[in-house]
Amino acid sequence: MPSRAVAVTDQRQAGYPEATGSSVFDRFMVCIMSGARSKLALFLCGCYVVALGAHTGEECVAKHHEAESYVAAVYEHPSILSPNPLALTSRQQALELMNQNLDIYEQQVMTAAQKGVQIIVFPEDGIHGFNFTRTSIYPFLDFMPSPQVVRWNPCLEPHRFNDTEVLQRLSCMAIKGDMFLVANLGTKQPCHISDPGCPNDGRYQFNTDVVFSNNGTLVDRYRKHNLYFEAAFDVPLKVDHTTFDTPFAGRFGVFTCFDILFFNPAVRLLRDYEVKHVVYPTAWMNQLPLLAAIEIQKAFAVAFGVNVLAANVHHPVLGMTGSGIHTPLKSFWYHDMENPNGRLIIAQVAKNPVGLIDAENATGEMDLSHSKFLKILSGDPYCEKDAQEVHCDEATKWNRNALPTFHSEMMYDNFTLVPVWGKEGYLHVCSNGLCCYLLYERPTLSEELYALGVFDGLHTVHGTYYIQVCALVRCGGLGFDTCGQEITEATGIFEFHLWGNFSTSYIFPLFLTSGMTLDVPDQLGWENDHYFLRKSGLSSGLVTAALYGRLYERD
């Protein structure tokens, strides 16, 4: 099935910058998703159009809020790859390939500069590529001095260190564009045999993010801690908790790709270092229904109440697409599995992100469904007052135990599920210590099977980590064995509460609707020791609504 983000505004209206030489009117562009009720969301929507160069009469709004916002860019890059990454090559040949990618980076920086961008983020592996061995990647590595020890401007001091050509080009780009620049490259660091961690070849090799200020100074580096089948690189002996301060938005944190699923460094950065903004280079292969790139990026922004600037590589044949600028209430994103071109995303972003909990997103008067949800949690029958009489509905227990329970593989994990049948219902399903609940209504029924699933255990494929998941998903077909398959289109509309008795406070709300469209819950939070997600008014069919809990201590 096609998997592409649906455009909300026409490129021609937005004056969208050309990314890789393709037409500006290329079929689909970045999607815009709003928290709907929030004034901040409306402000960001208007400013996004300004950031892309439209003349809509909203410029006064942007200028009024300039002191409260900054302009950011991320670039989804269709990187030029080595035809044979396993082959040995020379430094000169490696530089020739990397300079082709750096030429494209420079074009994007200059386009972004014309739009007033203050910080730009490029993806993981975007300069050198991937699938190298430890030996074959060596000619692609730059020497990396420690920014904590050495203050260095590679553009202005190009001869200070050998094998730093990539760093020099990136530094010069930051100066040309007058912006902070974040990029990812491979780096090397010699080590002595007396170092007990020193590899046999006498050097460390790191997957490294670098940050340059707008004057070209190397501000800091981050060496990836949670490697994802990257035999070419070493894990740093100590975790880098990398932050950098900017004059336009305060403190940013840095981590890379697979790091987003682990406590170190991602969660610790936000917990201990007062970070409100995250720059996130990634080379992410989408895996539905729970871990598409834009899905987890958005969930992280919502869960921690931060802004996430995420840049992915663009290789649809490998399932790699999905970049975005995400605030807790709003997202600007690109996901396209058909178009071979990359995309530059530019947005005006609040300096102080407003979290979903802070946004007063619940309605003033408690509606019927939320009142029923609270009654169910308290263990009381649901009651409503009609004129002078009070009617109590003992059917809150409904046919919870009448539905068939079945098992199906989702994301390589053995989920326990129950089918979601009928126009309304109250369901629950349990596994180990986790019980998941769903209270729902549907205005109309669709010719689709949905299921409520639970998993509480150690995930062991493509990484080992402990998760607790409650998920409402559209199945791939009408058979129970299709639940958990990767689909991107749906027509089923729901109003629902989804909740569970989670054993962790680290819970990521995953929310996708038809056409790889992001959505935002109406409400999230704890109630009677259960964490819940509430949503009504879906604009398109539901693909996935899930609460994805991480128990880091059980990894």
Q: What is the pLDDT of residues 283-312, one digit of tens each?
A: 999 999 999 999 999 999 999 999 999 999
The C-alpha atoms of residue 129 and residue 80 are separated, in whole angstroms, by: 7
User: How sure is the predictor about 3, in pLDDT bands with cuts at 50, 70 and 90?
Assistant: low
Identify whether 224 is a catalytic site residue: yes
Least confident segment among 12-16, 383-387, 449-453, 455-459? 12-16
**In the predicted model, what is the mean pLDDT of residues 519-532?**
95
Helix (H/G/I), strand (E/B), else coil: 122: coil
Band of the pLDDT at 550, cuts 50, 70, 90?
A: very high
Asked whether the predicted pLDDT for residue 387 surpasses 60, the reply is: no
* Residues 134-137: contacts with CB under 8 Å, at least 24 apart: 134/201, 134/205, 134/231, 134/232, 134/233, 135/88, 136/85, 136/86, 136/87, 136/88, 136/89, 136/232, 137/85, 137/186, 137/205, 137/232
Q: How far is CA 503 from CA 57, 241, 370, 544, in A?
A: 49, 26, 23, 22
HSE-up (13 A, CA, CB side) for residue 131: 8
Which of 14-28, 60-74, 417-431, 514-528 bottoms out in mean pLDDT, i.e. has the lowest?
A: 14-28
Instruction: Please tell me the predicted confidence (pLDDT) of residue 162.
Output: 97
Contact of 289 with 476, CB cutoff 8 Å: no
**Amino acid 365: pLDDT:** 52
Given the residues 224, 276, 298, 535, select the one marked as catalytic: 224
What per-residue confidence (pLDDT) applies to 367? Answer: 81
pLDDT at res. 378: 87
Residue 34 pLDDT class (50, 70, 90 cuts)? very low
Indicate the pLDDT class of residue 193, thresholds 50, 70 and 90: confident
Tokens describing residue 89: 């090559």
- In terms of C-beta density within 10 A (0-12 exposed, 13-18 middle, 19 or more buried), how is residue 190 classed? exposed
102-124 mean pLDDT: 98
Whole-prediction pTM value? 0.88
What domains are defined for the chain?
69-350 (3.60.110.10), 367-377+402-550 (no CATH)
What's the chain's average pLDDT? Answer: 87
Q: Is the pLDDT of residue 485 over 90?
A: yes
Task: Indicate if the pLDDT at residue 399 is higher than 50.
Answer: no
pLDDT-derived band at 523 (thresholds 50, 70, 90) equals very high
The lowest-confidence range among 54-58, 189-193, 317-321, 399-403 is: 54-58
Q: What is the mean pLDDT of residues 118-147?
A: 98
Residue where the block lists tokens 């599920």: 417
User: 182 versus 41: which is more confidently predicted?
Assistant: 182
Instruction: For residues 131 and 313, give the distance between their C-alpha atoms in angstroms, rounded to a whole number.
Output: 14
* 104-114 pLDDT, tens digit each: 999 999 999 99
Q: State residue 429's pLDDT score.
A: 97
The angle at the Cα of 3, spanning 289 to 51, to the nearest 5 degrees, equals: 105
Q: Is the backbone of residue 110 left (phi > 0), alpha (psi -120 to 50) or beta?
A: alpha
- Known catalytic residue at 257: yes
Catalytic residue among 76, 124, 230, 495: 124
What's the rounded Cα separation, in Å, for the pair 78 and 56? 31
pLDDT (mean) for 118-126: 98
| Confidence category of residue 103, pLDDT binned at 50, 70, 90 | very high
Summarised one tens digit per residue, pLDDT across range 258-273 is 999 999 999 999 999 9
Q: How confident is the model at residue 1 (pLDDT cuts 50, 70, 90)?
A: very low
Q: Which element (helix H / strand E) includes 466?
A: strand 465-474
- Give the active site residue among 47, 155, 172, 257: 257
- Label residue 381 by pLDDT band (50, 70, 90): low
Give the pLDDT band of residue 356 (cuts 50, 70, 90): confident
Contact criterion met (CB below 8 Å) for 484 and 451:
no
Is residue 115 part of the annotated active site? The answer reads no
pLDDT band at residue 422 using 50, 70 and 90 as cut-offs: very high
CA 453 from chain center: how many Å?
23
The residues that bridge with 185 in the sheet, in sequence order, are: 208
Cα–Cα–Cα angle for 465, 487, 131, rounded to 5 degrees:
55
**pLDDT band of 316, cuts 50, 70, 90:** very high
Residue 26: pLDDT over 80? no
Band the pLDDT of 156: cuts 50, 70, 90. very high
- Res 469: pLDDT: 98
d(CA 44, CA 349): 7
